[in-house]
């Protein structure tokens, strides 16, 4: 994670042979999330749900807790979850 007063950036770095061979070091999860879900702010990445799935927590525009998501590193897509983490 890289943090400035304006924003937090979360970068995905390959650490396992099970991850795809794409340019993972170039993925800023927060920027990608903001483009897809502008109504939520990414507040934390809590860990891994699987070798290619990160668990994300969010805050809604009004300041209340938003939904949790998985970030699929392979597809670079977000999956909204029914359970909060």
**Tens-place pLDDT, residues 54-68:** 999 999 999 999 999
Average pLDDT, the chain: 82
d(CA 7, CA 82): 26
Q: 33: which 2 tokens?
A: 């999330």
pLDDT reported for residue 3: 56
pLDDT reported for residue 74: 85
């Amino acid at each position: 994670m890289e943090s400035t007063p304006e924003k937090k950036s979360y970068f995905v770095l390959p650490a396992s042979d099970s991850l795809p061979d794409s340019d993972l070091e170039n993925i800023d999860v927060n920027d990608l999330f903001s483009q897809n879900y502008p109504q939520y702010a990414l507040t934390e990445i809590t860990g891994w749900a699987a070798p290619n799935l990160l668990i994300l927590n969010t805050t809604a525009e009004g300041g209340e807790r938003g939904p949790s998501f998985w970030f699929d590193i392979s597809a670079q897509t977000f999956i909204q979850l029914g359970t909060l983490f």
